[in-house]
Amino acid sequence: MGRYLRPMRWILLSLMALIGACWGEDEEQPGELVGSFQALGLMVEQSCGTAVPAPDPLDLKFDLRSESNGRAYWRLWGGSMFAGIENNGTYTFQTSQSYMVVEPDRFRGYVGCSVTQRDVFTFEVSVPEIEAGMDAGVEDAGIDGDADAGVDVEVDPALVLITGSQTTEIVPLAGADCTPAVAALGGPFLSLPCRVEYVLNGNGIAPE
């Protein structure tokens, strides 16, 4: 049978390595800062097995930025910035890539195993409503709230909530034979197709 390629490398928050557009830390960042956040991800599904060594829980610190045209940007602290979309307070970052897991073997008539990996991150930001005349919180929080008649008021970042999810789906390509890649036959995947999913919850924090 065909031989395995290097073990499937699922990078923590693999989306970060796959989205096409990125910016280095020394470059001017696009968009306006929505806020800095800390979120905890709890795993709710893991059917991929050791092929996806996903930690549980997942601890994230990151920035969200956006532009008026709906373009959004996500940067894990200490990492690069990547692009997605924003729609009514929902931020979505997604990508897919295909790669070979087991090489074909022409002598044995084996077609090989190739898969497509799809990664999706979704965040929803909830800013509390601030009544006129109330102390909105901390200066330099990096998160603005509309208190009254369009006036920007600094909001305590701890009051700004973020929820979301991260999913990774791995599906064999049409015509592929991924039987040897399954754990029952010594492969790295518990099953194929497979899925890893986290539910994310957190709140705003002071900018990095």
CB 168 within 8 A of CB 14: yes
199, part of any domain: yes
pLDDT for 128? 78
89, part of any domain: yes
Low-confidence residues of the chain: pLDDT under 70: 1-27, 130-153
Closest CA to 126 of 43, 66, 62, 37: 37
Determine phi and psi for 171, rounding to 5 degrees: -130, 130
pLDDT for 80? 75
Closest CA to 162 of 50, 22, 21, 39: 39
pLDDT for 24? 55
Residue 48 identity: C
168, part of any domain: yes
If one counts the domains in the chain, the total is 1
Strands (E), 22-157: 22-23, 32-46, 58-66, 71-76, 81-87, 90-102, 113-126, 144-148, 151-154
86, part of any domain: yes
pLDDT for 31? 84
7, part of any domain: no
162, part of any domain: yes
pLDDT for 136? 46
User: Cα separation of 12 and 21, whole Å?
Assistant: 18
pTM across the whole model: 0.76
140, part of any domain: yes
pLDDT for 194? 95
User: Cα separation of 133 and 154, whole Å?
Assistant: 13
Go through the chain and tell me how many residues it has: 208
Instruction: Work out whether the CA dihedral 98, 100, 101, 105 comes out positive or negative.
Output: positive
151, part of any domain: yes
- Tell me the pLDDT tens digit for each residue of 119-171: 999 999 998 775 544 444 444 445 555 433 334 557 788 889 999 999 999 99
pLDDT for 122? 94
Domain that holds residue 56: 15-205
pLDDT for 152? 52
Map residue 183 onto helix, strand or coil: helix
